[in-house]
């Protein structure tokens, strides 16, 4: 029988990426699959705090292994903005494109070489009767002043990754999984889940 895992998000982009990374031996569910209406308030000041909070609250509702992700973009010249507020940057109701445009408006007077940035991801794994564990991943790059590509989601079209010479939204999902902040964190989480299931 396959081990059941809840991916504690409604973000279809995140669900797709994490589902692709998880081993086929797991049976994967989203919050919508479980019809969980509860919304966790992301009151933490760090990705780790928010990831743990979501994993615990949703895990206790579903009572199966629960993976929660908190991630975002940090731009050095903006003092780390948008950071933990990446998904809510500029307020509720904005589209990914509108958030990216807002960020670009704040850095328009700088050259691209000055726009060092990174994506950060913390994956929290909640397991019944065990302490919640966290796993981190980052990817370093720059803000691209021109949005490019149709793959990915969020800020991917404006995140330039020098080793590939492309913006993240220009590379395939498979390529992205190998280098991304989320891919790195999920791989570590998978190893932990496999260990506790042996």
Please answer whether residues 24 and 1 qualify as being in contact, where contact means their C-beta atoms are separated by less than 8 angstroms.
no
Catalytic residue among 23, 70, 96, 156: 70
What share of residues in the chain are helix, strand, coil (percent, to 5)? 40, 25, 35
Active site residue 156: no
Please answer whether residues 58 and 6 qualify as being in contact, where contact means their C-beta atoms are separated by less than 8 angstroms.
yes
For residue range 23-49, list pLDDT tens digits in order.
Answer: 677 888 999 998 999 999 989 999 999
Distance CA 98, CA 116 (A): 21
For residue range 163-187, list pLDDT tens digits in order.
Answer: 999 999 999 988 998 899 998 999 9
Residues in the chain: 198
Q: Quick one: pLDDT at residue 24? A: 74
Token pair listed for 188: 């570590």
Distance CA 6, CA 102 (A): 33
Predicted structure pTM score: 0.88
């Amino acid at each position: 029988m396959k081990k059941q895992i809840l991916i504690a998000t409604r973000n279809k982009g995140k669900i797709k990426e994490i589902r692709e990374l998880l081993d086929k031996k797991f049976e994967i569910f989203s919050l919508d699959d479980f019809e969980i209406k509860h919304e966790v308030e992301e009151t933490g000041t760090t990705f780790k705090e928010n990831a743990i909070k979501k994993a615990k609250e949703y895990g206790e509702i579903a009572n199966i292994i629960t993976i929660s992700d908190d991630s975002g973009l940090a731009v050095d010249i903006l003092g780390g903005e948008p950071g933990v507020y990446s998904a809510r940057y500029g307020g509720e109701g904005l589209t990914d494109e509108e958030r990216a445009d807002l960020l670009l408006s704040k850095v328009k007077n700088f050259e691209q070489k000055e726009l060092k940035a990174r994506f950060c991801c913390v994956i929290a794994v909640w397991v019944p009767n065990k302490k919640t564990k966290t796993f981190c991943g980052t990817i370093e790059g720059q803000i691209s002043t021109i949005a490019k590509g149709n793959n990915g989601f969020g800020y991917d079209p404006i995140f330039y990754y020098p080793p590939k010479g492309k913006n993240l939204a220009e590379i395939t999902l498979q390529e992205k999984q190998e280098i991304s902040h989320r891919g790195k964190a999920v791989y570590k989480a998978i190893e932990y889940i496999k260990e506790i299931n042996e």
